[in-house]
Structures are given as structure tokens and as C-alpha cells.
Amino acid sequence: MSDLLANLNPEQLAAVTLPPQHALILAGAGSGKTRVLTTRIAWLISTGQVGPHGVLAVTFTNKAAKEMLARLSAMLPINPRGMWIGTFHGLCNRLLRAHHREAGLPATFQILDSADQLSAIKRLLKNLNVDDEKYPPRELAHFINAHKEQGIRAAQAEAYDDYTRRRVELYAEYEAQCQREGVADFAELLLRTYELLCRNEPLRRHYQARFRHILVDEFQDTNVLQYKWLKLLASYGERSPAAGPSQGRTEGGDDEKTLLASDERGEGGCIFAVGDDDQSIYAFRGAEVGNMRDLEREFRIANVIRLEQNYRSHGNILDAANALIKNNRGRLGKNLWTDAGAGEPIRVFEGFSDIDEARFAVDEVRELIRDGFPPTQIALLYRSNAQSRVLEHQLFSAGVPYRVHGGLRFFDRQEVKHALAYLRLIANPDDDTAFARVVNFPTRGIGSRSVEALQEAAHRANSSLYNAAASLTGKAGAAVGQFIRLIETLRAETAALVLPEVIEHLIDRSGLRAYYLGEKEGRERLENLDELVSAATAFVQEEEGTLAHPEESDAAASFLAHASLEAGEHQAGEGQEAVQLMTVHAAKGLEFDAVFITGLEQGLFPHENSAQERDGLEEERRLMYVAVTRARRRLYLTHAQTRMLHGQTRYCLSSLFLEELPEELLRRVGATPSFAASPAPAYSAAPTRQREASTVGGFRIGQSVQHAKFGLGVIVSAEGGADARVQINFGAHGMKWLALAYAKLTPV
């Protein structure tokens, strides 16, 4: 017990041993956030203040949830299974499975991942004869999700113009389609649960009374709906029933103020939120940093505890991070410090090209490994996934083992999705998304004409594709009928089998295996299908250990939910001694001895799209802050003068963020090549094509220039002739074509 609290610093100790009250912990990067969270739970339980039953711990990623569970298992003698620890989506799924009737969902409801959702929307638009040029499916998906994440149903959505009115109608149609098919997208899991708890008072009171302590990780990433959800669960002692949400789908509003008067809170559970506003990097998908301020105000949190001592990084790295983030406005305020000493300077490298940059990084990586850095402790970070290719190429050539995180996940592979679609159809024939996916895969003579006819019939009868199949006549009807019989046969044949056998059977009898056997690229896909069977075996075994979930007795349904909700970090090279490659987003929460942040160029990092978004640059800066604070001992910042992008060479300015770092912390390393310098740079793109020395009016491509209004830029392309003009990348000011006759350009 006292072991538990040993080695905590005063702030951590204060946070862990807070009396039962709402709390907000402002936890800087590397300040022991997870430790505080788990120790808090362990402390509460071991001091008898709460049973495992009364704990609800919410995270954003499965990895974080698993990590928490693992640490708790190590800290507590008891089995932590009684606690509800999981992601928002995972917990909502669990709740909805348990109360599917009350939530208005079939027991076997399926979860649409983003790809499924997109295809469902495309299908909807086709059915309704909506022009998908005018209403792009991706945009519509975003529109719908954004509304759901605010807790707004189509019925309440505001339509301020004709275009939006139509989108709201489509939102409503989409809701209806999902309901008919018995499917729920990611946002729906949350919204449904929220509405369920709003509407159903006994249920709400039950969970409110049960969860004495609600702990939230990465609170800065919560969206509006998630915050509402938390408030609902934490507010058992509402002042009056009328103040809380009552019948139907009430929209936030006045419930919030009355909900939380602390003197009347009665027996409501306590929220213990841990977050860092400086690490909020998911605003683009609805995360609302403002929730931290709102929590502080609405839950009357008197003293926010700040964890500012960093146990991860050396001083120079922290100084750089602090200097960078100071450029953001409206922070809650926090300054990381360490007693670990300044450490090494931050190395900055400028490459001639992206290839040059990658080569430098890989050379350094090899040196680090020679110096005894474990490969798994070396991370190569980048802003966007596309950047990994060049790095991978260099690593591969150099024979350095590496592992790429992110990218396509196991359960997103087409062959896996196909196999699972059969499983879904057996469980729920109304799942049109699954139906459409495999009705003609492998091909069985049901072409687009037949599918269209079927969709029309289904639309007329307001039924699922599956049920409409019988009404089709002619040749198409026969073919579709055969498919239906296939599904029915599969269902009958697999009824008595355990899940892995079911999947194995489906793969064989659906024709998937035969199909991929005949494909030249099919071997890997077949291996993945086998892997899917293994995954199911492992899953079932795991489930058997966890009989704490009687509500999830349907193995197929829970496996499907698992497949949708969990990325499945089944990746080759796992556990090997490999260098780690990932996006900065994916690196959040991780730490490494040595970190390379690559592609530090205007337009890439900060990304050009961020310029259009509100506070976009600040979010990019927070992203950079996250990246910098991943490093323990050594940090490299690299950028390149030219980069292949969209199949053509782009000329790049170095990132604004590099300029925001104090020069005294930096050390430029490697040669500083430039187009002007003729000697071959230390790292140059192998046999470089001879660059045409074409100059236009004294300017050449790749040259840096100064413009009175737009500042510093790089000439990207040029046109000669009578009215010669050049295209210049001005970074933050964008790309401009300027006529040399008029523009006042000064060579730099």
C-alpha cells in the first residue's frame, strides 16, 4: 500500500490521493500521467474507497486501455476485470449490447467503420438518385459525423441554406437506412448511448450510482458529445428531473448549468480527468480543448493540479518544446522542467532532397545502433503517411530492420473485410453494406445491372437487399437467389461450429479461398485469411477468460465488434528489434531514446491544409510539440530543399517551427547543400539528373527570393517568353504566379 505511493512527487501524490471530488489534472508530456491515473485507481481500491465494480476508466485508444489494465494488474492483487476500462467506443458498444432493446437496436447490430460508412452513404445517394458530384460522399460523411459528435440528430440540425437543408435531409435518410439495416457507425455508438441514458431514467440512475469514480485519460481530446456523456454519468444528483434530459432526444442546453451544482451533487460519481491542452491534436475530428475549461468551471474545480516535472527528456529538448509552444495563445499554462540536465544539443539537418534527408537519417540511425541505442528506441516521425516510403526505401537498402505503425490495419484489408462480410451477413441479413460487398465477390454473375435492379426493388419495398432478392425475376433473380441460398446454407452449416471453424468454413465455401488461390498476388491474402482464423481463435480464448461479460455471449457479434473497434496491431516484424516509423499523431503517448522529426518544411509540417482551418497553425504547433517531447536523449530535426510530392518535385522552405526554436539549443549537422553551391553535397540524391540551368530573367528554379508582401519564397517553376513569370512557393502565403515584369523580387 505505501509502496503504491512511494516515489511519487508531491504533485503526483496530491493528485493520486485527492478526496472524492471532481478533479482536473493538467499533466504535461512525460510527467507520469498514466502512472497517476493507474495509481489513483489502485489507491482508491486498496484503501477500500471503491470496489473494482465502481470504477469507470475511459481512454481513446485500445492501446492506452490495455496499458492501463496491465499496470493495474501489476499493482493490485485482485483481478481488475470488474472494472470498466476501455475506449469511449468500446464502452458504448458494451452498453448498447447489454441494453440493445432499450436502445432500439437489434441484438446483432453491426458497427460500420469509416470505410463501411462511406460505402453506405454512396449506396444511399445512388438509391435516392442524388448527384454525388454535388454532394460528395466524403463531405456528407463528415457533415453527418460532425453533427453526431455534437449530439445533434438530423431532426435538430440547423439548415441555414438550401444546400444544407438537402444535406440534413440526407442525414435523416442515412439515419433511417442505418436503422433499417441494424448498423451503427462510430459516432452513433456514442450518440445512441448518450440518448439511451438520457431517456431511460432507471438505467441512467443505475450507472450513475454504480460508477463512483470516472477517470478520463487524454481529456483534451474529448468532443462535445463525449463530454456530455461524461457529465450525464457523473451527475446522479441533478437538482430536478426536469433539469436533466427527459423524454426524447433532448439537446444539451440548460441541463448543464443546473446539473452540477456541487452542493447538490449527492451521490454522483467523481470525474478525475487528466489531460494536456498543449497536446490536443485532434481538433480536426471534433476534439474540443475547451472542454477542459468547461470542466473546470462547470464542475467547480477549485485547484487544478499541474504536473510539470518531466521525467522523460533532457533539458535542451524540454527548452525547445517550451519555447515552441509559447507561441500558442489561450493556453492553460504550464512549463515543463527536469532535473536531468541539459543533455545534447538538438541536431538539425538540411537535405538536398527528401532522398538525401532519408539517407542522412538512416546513416545516423545506424550510428546510433552502433553506439548501443536499441533499434526499438529509435523513432522516425513524419507528418503524413506518404512520407514513410522514402524512409522505408533507405532503411531497406541499408538493411536496417524497421517497423511501420499505422497504415492499413489488419481488419481493413480487403480479404479480411470480405470474409467478415460473410460473417456479418449470416448474423444479420439486413446488413446491406456487407451484402453489397460480397454479393458478387468472388464474381458469380451478378453484375452492376442486377445489383441496381435489386437495390431498386429493395428501395421500393423499403426492405433490405437480402429480403428484396426474392422479388427479382429473370436471370438476375436466379443468380441473386443462388447467392441467398449460399448464405442460408452457410448459416445452417455453421450453426453448430465454434467461431474459428465458422470463419474457416466461410472462407472455403464462399469461394474466397479458391479465388485468392487463383490470384497471382493471392498468397499474402490467403495468409491473412489464415491469420483471421487464428485471430478468432485467440479472441474466443480470451473471451472465455472474461466471463464477466455475459451480455456479450454471441461470439460472432463480439468478434465483429472487436474487428471494427480494434485496429489489430497484427503487423509483421512485431517484437523484433526494429526501428519505429510512424506519424506524429501515432507517436502521441510514446517515448524513445532518439527521435527524428522529418519533413520540417512549410506546407508539409505545418501542413498547408492547416492554413485554411481555424487555429490550424496552432494545432500544427501542438503536433510539433508532441513530436519534440517524444525524445528522451537525442532529437534530430530534418528537412529537405526539394521533395517529391504528387509525382513531381516541390521546392520547400524550412518550417516555421524551426525558427521558433532558440538557436543556442541547436546544432546544424551535415553539409548544408544548396543549388548555388556546385560541389556535390555530402548527401545528394544518387546520380542526380542534370538540372537544366535555365534561368528566366536572372532567376532559376529552386532559388530563394524575397517579395515585399509575401516575404521569403522559393521559385518552383518558371515560364519564359515575352511576359515571363515564375511560380513561387511562399509557404504560409501559398503558391503564387508572379510576372517578372511587375513583381519586385530580390534574390536571397
Partner DNA sequence: CGTCACCTTGTTTTT
Partner DNA sequence: CAAGGTGACG
Contact residues for DNA, defined by CB under 7 A: 60-62, 87-90, 113-114, 122, 138, 186, 281, 284-285, 383-386, 389, 406, 440, 443-450, 476, 565, 567, 583, 585-586, 607, 609-610, 613, 644, 646-647
Pick 235 or 580: Cβ nearer DNA: 580
Smallest CA-to-CA distance from 234 within 286, 300, 285 is with 300
Smallest CA-to-CA distance from 336 within 316, 352, 353, 364 is with 316
Smallest CA-to-CA distance from 429 within 463, 471, 478, 474 is with 463
Pick 476 or 487: Cβ nearer DNA: 476
592-597 and 378-382 strand pairing: parallel
Smallest CA-to-CA distance from 50 within 72, 25, 20 is with 20
CB of 87 to DNA, least distance (A): 4
Pick 142 or 165: Cβ nearer DNA: 142
CB of 89 to DNA, least distance (A): 5
CB of 683 to DNA, least distance (A): 20
**Which residues share a beta bridge with 271?**
214
How far, in Å, CA of 401 to CA of 292, rounded?
Answer: 41
Q: How far is CA 719 from CA 417, 453, 723, 736, in A?
A: 49, 53, 8, 13
Catalytic residue among 34, 258, 376, 727: 34
Q: Is 676 exposed, middle or buried (0-12, 13-18, 19+ CB in 10 A)?
A: exposed
Catalytic residue among 12, 33, 387, 642: 33
555 labeled binding residue: no
CB of 32 to DNA, least distance (A): 23
Question: Which sign does the torsion angle of CA 258, 261, 266, 270 carry?
Answer: positive
Residue 364: all three cell numbers together = 545516423
Q: Is 467 exposed, middle or buried (0-12, 13-18, 19+ CB in 10 A)?
A: middle
29 labeled binding residue: yes
Residue with the three cell numbers 477549485:
302
Cβ-contact 513, 526 below 8 angstroms: yes
Pick 53 or 691: Cβ nearer DNA: 691
Pick 384 or 674: Cβ nearer DNA: 384
Smallest CA-to-CA distance from 164 within 178, 177, 149, 147 is with 147
33 labeled binding residue: yes
CB of 184 to DNA, least distance (A): 13
Q: Mapping DSSP to helix (H, G, I), strand (E, B) and coil, where does residue 464 land?
A: coil
Pick 501 or 591: Cβ nearer DNA: 591
Pick 230 or 301: Cβ nearer DNA: 230
What letter would DSSP give residue 549? -
Q: Which residues contact 72 (CB under 8 A, 6 or more apart)?
A: 38, 41, 42, 80, 83, 85
Is 34 labeled as catalytic in the residue annotation? yes
670 labeled binding residue: no
Is 33 labeled as catalytic in the residue annotation? yes
**Which residues share a beta bridge with 654?**
601
Pick 349 or 483: Cβ nearer DNA: 483
CB of 283 to DNA, least distance (A): 9
Smallest CA-to-CA distance from 662 within 382, 343, 326, 276 is with 326
CB of 501 to DNA, least distance (A): 29
Is 218 labeled as catalytic in the residue annotation? yes
Catalytic residue among 11, 181, 218, 296: 218
Cα angle: 447, vertex 453, 457; to 5 degrees: 145
511 labeled binding residue: no
How far, in Å, CA of 428 to CA of 618, rounded?
Answer: 45
DSSP letter string over 246-260? -SS---STTHHHHHT
406 labeled binding residue: no
Pick 89 or 204: Cβ nearer DNA: 89
**Which residues share a beta bridge with 493?**
none
CB of 440 to DNA, least distance (A): 6
34 labeled binding residue: yes
CB of 64 to DNA, least distance (A): 9
Catalytic residue among 424, 630, 632, 700: 630
Q: Is 722 exposed, middle or buried (0-12, 13-18, 19+ CB in 10 A)?
A: exposed
Catalytic residue among 38, 39, 177, 279: 279
Element (H, E) at 191: helix 186-199
Rg (alpha carbons) of the chain, rounded to whole number: 28
672 labeled binding residue: no
Is 279 labeled as catalytic in the residue annotation? yes
Residue 326: all three cell numbers together = 509559447
Q: Which residues contact 113 (CB under 8 A, 6 or more apart)?
A: 185, 186, 412, 564
Q: Which residues are catalytic?
A: 33-34, 217-218, 279, 630
**Binding site for ATP: residue ranges?**
27-34
